[in-house]
Amino acid sequence: MHFTGRTWRPNYEANSCIIQMTSGCTYQKCHFCNLYKDEPFALSSLAEFEEDLNEIKSYQPNAKRIFITGANPFALNYERLKPYILTVRDYLIKCQAIAMFARIQDIKNKEIWQLRKLRAMGVNGLSIGTESGDDDTLLLANKGYTSQDILEQCRKLDEAGIEYYFVYMTGLAGKGAGYRNAINSAKIFSQLNPYFISVDSLTLFSDTKLYDKAKRGEFIPAGEKERIRELQTFIQNLRIRTHLFANSKSNFYPIAAYLPKERNSAIRELQYVIDTVDEQEMNAYRNSLQSLE
């Protein structure tokens, strides 16, 4: 397999076949992120991609789902993406979903008819690192889009029938702003149809702009209890039927809930953690984290 640089996939893609089509990130400007630092975006050749598909076919001829690596392979426009997607079908006839990461901006370069065609070719399951739906937080994190962009672009995915997943990041708005972030994000996300929402919590890594800001006193990180209260508020205000997974390593307390059915029990469980664990213990956990997960 032709893996170069950092190979990263979400934990929920653990059972998918992983293949490299791109490496690096086209954007590289989010202030909390160091994932693809110094790794410029690159597209693998179709020949290399095909060799890897052949290898996958040799040990998993019935693969049903593949996950294409790189921070945002969906940045490729329709014409450039199409030959790669069609080649998957040449090798993996039973493959039902070709999933990948996408930025909100990556959807902009595609018309709805193109998205529909990609869906028909098997593209399904876009992991979108929205992080927030609150404009001030999006600006602070330098995500490069607004809440209105999230609405406009994801409505196109809804129309094309492409399944997508959101990421929400607690703590990203900074101390005292978690409540606002949760309310505004829930309002935006509730107007869309994410198949599930995955929740991470901000960890400040030393080679990021946000870390530098924190050192200069321009960004004050939210405490751990504030983040859990933020998550409670987010859960409380989401008005869609969806799954929420706040169980990656960056969450002090792992929790998963099917909403709205498990809304109250999830909020109660989080309250128990707030009431029984002290902030110091939570901080020690945060400081022990070595990577973005």
Using CB under 6 A, which of 17, 21, 30, 257 touches ligand SF4?
A: 30
Q: Would you count residue 36 as binding ligand SF4 (CB under 6 A)?
A: yes
Q: Put the strands of the sheet holding 242-246 in their side by side order.
A: 17-20, 65-69, 97-102, 123-131, 164-170, 196-201, 242-246, 255-259
Interface with ligand SF4 includes 204 (CB under 6 A)? Answer: no
Measured from the CB atom, the residue of 57 and 213 that comes closer to ligand SF4 is: 213
Question: In angstroms, rounded to a whole number, what is the distance separating the alpha carbons of residues 278 and 285?
Answer: 11
Binding to ligand SF4, residues 95-134 (CB under 6 A)? 103, 129
The interface region with ligand SF4, picked from 33-41, 42-50, 194-202, 240-248 by CB under 6 A, is: 33-41
Which residue stretch of 24-32, 116-124, 189-197, 202-210 sits at the interface with ligand SF4 (rule: CB under 6 A)? 24-32
SS3 labels along the chain: CCCCCCCCCCHHHCCCEEEECEECECCCCCCCCCCCCCCECEECCHHHHHHHHHHHHHHCCCCCEEEEECCCHHHCCHHHHHHHHHHHHHHCCCCCEEEEEECHHHHHCCCHHHHHHHHHHCEEEEEEEEECCCHHHHHHCCCCCCHHHHHHHHHHHHHHCCCEEEEEEECCCCCCCHHHHHHHHHHHHCCCCCCEEEEEECCCCCCCHHHHHHHCCCCCCCCHHHHHHHHHHHHHHCCCCEEEEECCCCCCCCEEEEECCCHHHHHHHHHHHHHHCCHHHHHHHHHCCCCCC
Chosen residue from 17, 33, 56, 92 binding ligand SF4 by CB under 6 A: 33
| Nearer residue to ligand SF4 within complex by CB, 4 or 54 | 4
Taking the least distance from each CB to ligand SF4, the nearer of 169 and 270 is 169
**Measured from the CB of residue 34, what is the shortest distance to ligand SF4 in angstroms?**
8
Residue from 17, 21, 25, 53 that binds ligand SF4 (CB under 6 A)? 25
Query: Does residue 27 belong to the site contacting ligand SF4 (CB under 6 A)?
Result: yes
Q: Is 71 in the site for ligand SF4 (CB under 6 A)?
A: yes
The smaller minimum CB distance to ligand SF4, of residues 66 and 167, is found at: 167
**Contact flags string 79-98 toward ligand SF4, x per CB under 6 A:** --------------------
# of chain residues touching ligand SF4 (CB under 6 A): 11
Q: Does residue 35 touch ligand SF4 according to CB under 6 A?
A: yes
Would you state the structure tokens that stand for residue 275, as one six-digit string?
A: 């009431």
Closest approach of ligand SF4 to the CB of residue 198, in Å: 13
Q: How far is the CB of 213 from ligand SF4 (least distance, A)?
A: 16
Chain residues that interact with ligand SF4, rule: CB under 6 A: 25, 27-30, 33, 35-36, 71, 103, 129
